Amino acid sequence: MSVTAAPWDRIEGKVQSWHLDRLAVVYVRQSTPQQVIDHAESTRLQYGLTQRAVDLGWAPSRVLVIDEDLGHSASGLVDRPGFQRLVSEVGLDHVGLVLGVEMSRLARSGREWHQLLELCALAGALLADPDGVYDPSEHNDRLLLGLKGTISEAELHLIKQRMWNGRIGKARRGELAMPLPVGYLRLTDGQVVKDPDEQVQTVVRLVFDLFDELELINGVLRFLVDHGIQMGIRAREGPEKGLLVWRRPSRILIQNMLRHPAYAGIYVYGRSRTDPRRRVPGRPCTGRVRKPREDWLVCLPGMLPAYIGMEQHERNLTRIEANRAHALSMGALRDGPALLAGLIHCGRCGTRMTVHYQRGQGGKLWPKYECSRLKADYGGELCQQLSGACLDRFVTALLLAAIAPAAIEVSLAAAEQTQHRRQEVDRIWHQRLERADYAVDRARRQYQLAEPENRLVVRELERSWESALAGRQQLSEEYDRFAAARPRSLTAAEREQIRALAGDLPALWQASTTTDSDRKRLMRHLIEKIRVTVLGDSERVTVQVTWAGGHQTDGEVVRPVGRLDQLSYFPQLAARARELAAAGHAAPAIAKTLNAEGFRPPKRREHFGAQGVRELLRELGCISQQERSLRRKAQPLGPDEWWPSDLAREIGMPRVTLFGWITHGWVTARQQPDRRRSWVIHADPVEVERLRRLHRLPRGHGARQPWLYHQEMAIIHNEKGAHGNDGEPQV
């Protein structure tokens, strides 16, 4: 009959002398900080394992306690510095024994548990709990440890499942206590009410009123900062937990307020999820992803006291989404003179047109509307583009004409709104002063109730009273300065000025105090959409304005174009210019006649000048009498020689550009020995084709891609040298 060995015999067989030369590590952990407070006995038992290590043969000095993970979960979702330290010590062959009250204390994640087992097996380290000592290198012990790890992981799943079921059930009844936003307070019985502090409620309502008026988070933030308004927040942790503290406003705070459904009386749960892939190590609150409304787990309207209605909450969300800079939204109001940004749509493809600015003389910005979706997405050509100034003037005239009948009523409403806003801000200042008075009175009463003989306390209370008095005095002085700069009520002169401006809307529109953002905001309030279509490549542009409410206004504007042949009336203009030139009229007389008959030049010029007529006649092949006389007196041209006007017309380029090429040495030219030193250009058919290729290079090509520009220019110059008269390349 065989005798079964006692457990301690098995333990003594596993613990070798070289194990005792290493450390015995006691791993101490509790899942949450609250468990550390409530379950002190469990923590005491874990620390008591140091005696178990001594009983197994380790010297007390060779027992290491790792307790950095008190308050950290072992689910694998939270970083555990203590466990990482334990793994490092095992991997460095410093550990002979790892002790824990139960295996779930070490890890509830299968990945971490088997990683520890593998390292202990390679290093020869043992594991121990109150049931025994295990050698991970032995098959039976490894099987038992794996089973304990699986049971621990399954136990974690069951615990989470029970907690989740209870949590979601409570949330569906609207009873789960969630963190409350600014302006709300939870009573001891769990009921959620508006913050009883009147100033807190006033500031919350002011934030929503401002966004309803300004429609910009940055605008709300600037208003609060400019008027010295702070946000009242209930501290959630620390020594001030539950107390009301005042913080300066921030963009993220205002944005969260505008997005939070609680202000519309909606109780929600599950607005966000935690994505482990987006978590940042060492920052447990990261990795949260917002979910769309249809994916919220609980949404119960009417469960909370509301500051705003459902309709206003929906408008706020729509406005925030529209302020985002992407192709499907108008975007936020930004600085810049383009008044129709976000409203312009292409009449050809229907996409929203973008705004680009060109800097002109004196640094002035000139807007240009482009339909570049095809070019940006597929590398194609621009669908259409036009100058923004002409379109802005046209739509502005329509807008001012539309609001002119209601100008007086709008001005009075604006005056009332301005006065109401000033009264709200003044009310907040008085609430701050009332709070400061209470602080002074409270400090006074504390000082008076103290025993005069207890000088240790009286001196401190006296300093507190003096500090409260100084704060009250400083706040009063700040309010006096604020009231002097921004009076509570509009004066009679200010009201009369508003009425006078309402009678002259163009002057109000062009006033220096009216910003581009103000003009754009009015545009977006009254106009829903603008469709523009450039007719061919001409100067004519059809415009269709869709007003708020659905009414449409059609019109046509004239855009500036770069070339004469782009003008829709160019055939009539050319015929009339030839007729006047053939009749012997000089350029100034032709210009006067064309202007009188309603012809207009391209670009942004209002009328023809003498030089413009000369350029027109040169493009049409009409030589003036003066130039014809000069050519008769000049030396006859040789083979393949051109007058600059004739060559420019042959290539299809402006004559002034060709003179620029002469200056840069890009063409072979000589000057006649006449009084005017007229230029003559030598260009055979191959040279003419080379110059035509040079003219086709995009405008600004060298500025945008200098390396490609210089490469092409080098090729063109080499060709010029190869085909030149002298046979030598010219650079």
> What span, in angstroms and rounded, lies between the C-alpha atoms of 134 and 130?
11
CA atoms of 377 and 372, how far apart (whole Å): 8
Q: State which fold the 184-323 domain adopts.
A: Hect, E3 ligase catalytic domain fold (3.90.1750)
pLDDT tens digits, one per residue of 43-75: 888 888 898 899 888 999 999 999 888 877 766
pLDDT higher at 122 or 239: 122
Length, in residues, of the chain:
731
pLDDT, residue 482, reads 81
Which tokens go with 207? 């934030």
CB 231 within 8 A of CB 249: yes
Domain boundaries defined on the chain? 7-169, 184-323, 338-560, 569-633, 648-731
Q: Are 27 and 72 in contact (CB under 8 A)?
A: no
DSSP string, 416-428: HHHHHHHHHHHHH
Higher pLDDT, 633 or 297: 297
State the Rg of the chain over Cα: 42
Listed in sequence order, the DSSP H helices in 236-362 are: 251-259, 310-323
Q: What is the pLDDT of residues 152-169, one digit of tens each?
A: 778 878 888 898 888 888
Count of Cβ atoms closer than 10 Å to residue 662 Cβ: 16
C-beta of residue 23 within 8 angstroms of C-beta of residue 86: no
Pick the more confident residue, 669 or 673.
669
Cα distances from 630 to residues 301, 369, 580, 635, in angstroms, run 90, 46, 21, 10
Q: Which of 47-61, 573-587, 620-634 has the lowest mean pLDDT?
A: 620-634
pLDDT tens digits for range 462-485: 888 999 999 899 888 888 888 777
Question: What integer pLDDT is reported at residue 701 of this predicted model?
Answer: 45
Highest-pLDDT range among 274-278, 373-377, 660-664, 708-712 = 660-664
Q: How confident is the model at residue 711 (pLDDT cuts 50, 70, 90)?
A: low
Mean pLDDT of the region 291-306: 89
Residue 351 has what DSSP assignment? Answer: P
**If DSSP codes are grouped into helix, strand and coil, which group holds residue 728?**
coil
Per-residue pLDDT for 108 more than 50? yes
pLDDT surpassing 80 at residue 616 = no
With the CA atoms of 383, 388, 393 and 397 taken in that order, what torsion angle do they form, in degrees rounded to the nearest 10? 50
**Mean pLDDT in residue range 408-425:** 71
Q: Note if 272 is an active site residue.
A: no
Residue 726 has pLDDT above 60, yes or no: no
**CATH code for residues 7-169:** 3.40.50.1390
User: Six-digit token pair at 267?
Assistant: 């109780």
Give the strand pairing for 552-558 and 192-194: unpaired
pLDDT at residue number 4: 38
**Average pLDDT of the residues in 350-359:** 85
Q: How far apart are CA 700 and CA 81, in angstroms?
A: 59
Q: What is the pLDDT of residue 221?
A: 92
Instruction: Identify the pLDDT of residue 721.
Output: 52
The catalytically annotated residue of 2, 17, 31, 109 is: 31
Q: How many CB atoms lie within 10 A of CB 38?
A: 11
Q: How far is CA 118 from the centre of its chain?
A: 48
Helix or strand run (H / E) with residue 3: none
The mean pLDDT value of the chain amounts to 80
Q: DSSP class of residue 360?
A: -
Residue 454's pLDDT is 84
Q: Are 351 and 384 in contact (CB under 8 A)?
A: no
What pLDDT sits at residue 674? 67
Core vs surface per residue 238-264: b (16+ CB within 10 A) or e: eeeeeebeeeebeeebbeebbebbbbb
Q: Is the pLDDT of residue 728 over 70?
A: no
By percentage, how much of the chain surpasses pLDDT 70? 83
- Determine if the pTM surpasses 0.85: no
pLDDT score for 23 = 92
- Residue 588 pLDDT class (50, 70, 90 cuts): confident
Write down the pLDDT at residue 718.
57
pLDDT reported for residue 729: 32
Among the listed ranges 90-104, 180-194, 613-627, 649-663, which one has the minimum average pLDDT value?
613-627
Phi-psi label, residue 347: left if phi above 0, alpha if psi -120 to 50, beta otherwise? alpha
Q: What confidence score (pLDDT) does residue 593 get?
A: 86
Cβ burial of 465 (10 Å; 0-12, 13-18, 19+) is buried
